[in-house]
Amino acid sequence: MSAACVGPFVERVGEELQRAERYRIFVSLVVLDLDSLKNGNARETGEFDRLVNLIKGNTRSIDSAALVNPRKMALLLPETPRQGAEIAARRVTELIRQSYPGDFSENVDQVIPLEMASFPDAAGAKTVKEILSELTEAEPN
């Protein structure tokens, strides 16, 4: 995936993080590792695009979802504390499990690894900026 595809999402994360810092409001970022999908059909880029659209259709209008590289999908959740992000992540992983029933076991949390960071929460091992930096550095050229 080119930087041009990821650029608008990265810019939006930066804007929301600045807004959160300025007004001391929450913002959360969830990154789902889709590499664990077992079915080859689900690995097709068109299928991942369909999945991103499904997620967008089932989240709030202020939330953003993007495929940030061929294996990872990110969700930006403005005005959402970590607890709300955990609920959203469970709901999204359930949507994915329902969309690809042959790809998952019963315990979807073990099947779709995810990273999560919230601002200003300090509960995560990484900050929103650190996760965003890793995502942009990990992009294939």
Asked whether the beta carbons of 79 and 62 are under 8 A apart, the reply is: yes
Confidence of residue 2 (pLDDT cuts 50, 70, 90): very low
Torsion of CA 52, 57, 61, 65, to 10 degrees: -10
What is the pTM assigned to this prediction? 0.81
Which backbone phi and psi does 23 adopt, to 5 degrees? -100, 0
pLDDT at 131 over 90: no
Residue 118, CA distances (Å) to 25, 55, 84, 103, 137 in order: 10, 20, 10, 29, 20
Model pLDDT for residues 96-113, shown as the tens digit of each residue: 878 776 655 554 445 678
Confidence of residue 5 (pLDDT cuts 50, 70, 90): low
- Domains of the chain, each with CATH number or no CATH: 3-137 (3.30.70.2880)
What pLDDT is recorded for position 141? Answer: 44
